[in-house]
């Protein structure tokens, strides 16, 4: 059984696609592309697709990941092209690698987010960032299915800083004052989301953007505490593929005379 890991995006209006909507669209794409999927056992078999840490509905993303299991081998890049052509524009499959190492989900320990605050002066945003970073704790509230929950959002935030609006990946207008924040959040329990950090900025600095904030996940992967960066979770698979011999080379070596 071959396993393929994919990175896909949620761009433009498709950022409002829920995770369940994406699942339905992706399973249709698998059928259109005639992917030889492995299925679960039981009375209601389902294609073996493992989704990892999907972004909240309403946020864009350049770094969503999933893994599929196949009953017959396929070239990862060719498979990527077929699936990308079978999905609507905005849900784009941008990378595919063969799974050669275990634990993709275990490598997704942090995310890099970009927050576009249209209508907010960058200097005002910088003051709010300084107040947040200097706080020992930032209590926020979130409504959950079990009622209102209060928790400290500060420990999960590895870094929060102002960024240059030029070249921003987030969607939004550019003809008005706009502050861009770059945020690295560890995946902890309870999960701290970008909207929790925005609630924290309001709590510590009374920062209240006049329009909804455009949020885009730029990356997710293993958090490197020494550098404060988030590493590519597919890199170990690419590195393993580069060091393994090509099947044809392995066959030739096995049949070569001693």
Work out how many domains the chain is built from and give that number: 2
Model pTM? 0.87
Angle at 133 between CA 120 and CA 123, to 5 degrees: 25
C-beta neighbour count of 66 within 10 angstroms:
19
Same domain as 118, residue 42? no
Q: Does any domain span residue 174?
A: yes
3-state helix, strand, coil in the chain (%, to 5): 30, 30, 40
CATH no. for residue 225? 3.30.70
User: Which tokens go with 182?
Assistant: 């770059």
Asked if the model's pLDDT at residue 148 lies above 50, the reply is: yes
**Cross-strand pairs, 30:** none
Same domain as 159, residue 67? no
Same domain as 129, residue 49? no
Q: Does any domain span residue 236?
A: no
CATH no. for residue 65? 3.30.70.580
pLDDT of residue 181: 98
pLDDT digits (tens, 9 = 90+) for 153-186: 999 999 999 987 554 554 444 568 999 999 999 9
Q: Does any domain span residue 253?
A: no
The mean pLDDT of 132-155, rounded to a whole number, is 92
Asked if the model's pLDDT at residue 256 lies above 60, the reply is: no
Q: Which domain covers residue 202, as residue numbers? A: 109-230
Same domain as 125, residue 45? no
Same domain as 92, residue 181? no
Q: What are phi and psi of 206, to 5 degrees?
A: 55, 35
Q: Is 42 left (phi over 0), alpha (psi -120 to 50) or beta?
A: left
Same domain as 159, residue 113? yes
């Amino acid at each position: 059984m071959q396993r393929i890991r994919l990175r896909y995006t949620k761009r433009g209006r498709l950022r409002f696609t829920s995770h369940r909507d994406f699942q339905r669209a992706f399973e249709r794409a698998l059928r259109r592309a005639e992917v030889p999927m492995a299925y679960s056992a039981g009375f209601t078999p389902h294609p073996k697709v493992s989704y990892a840490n999907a972004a909240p509905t309403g946020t864009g993303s350049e770094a969503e990941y999933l893994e599929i299991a196949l009953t017959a081998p396929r070239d990862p890049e060719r498979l990527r092209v077929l699936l990308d052509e079978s999905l609507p524009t905005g849900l784009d499959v941008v990378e595919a690698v063969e799974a050669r190492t275990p634990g993709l989900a275990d490598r997704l320990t942090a995310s890099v987010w970009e927050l576009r605050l249209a209508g907010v002066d960058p200097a005002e945003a910088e003051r709010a960032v300084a107040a947040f970073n200097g706080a020992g704790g930032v209590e926020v509230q979130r409504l959950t299915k079990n009622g209102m929950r209060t928790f400290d959002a500060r420990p999960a935030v590895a870094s929060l800083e102002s960024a240059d609006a030029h070249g921003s990946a987030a969607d939004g207008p550019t003809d008005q004052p706009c502050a861009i924040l770059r945020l690295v959040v560890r995946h902890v329990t309870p999960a701290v989301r970008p909207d929790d950090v925005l609630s924290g900025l309001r709590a510590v600095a009374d920062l209240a953007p006049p329009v909804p904030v455009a949020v885009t996940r730029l990356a997710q992967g293993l958090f490197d505490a020494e550098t404060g960066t988030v590493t590519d979770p597919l890199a170990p698979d690419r590195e393993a593929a580069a060091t393994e011999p090509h099947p044809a080379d392995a066959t030739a070596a096995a049949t070569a005379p001693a």
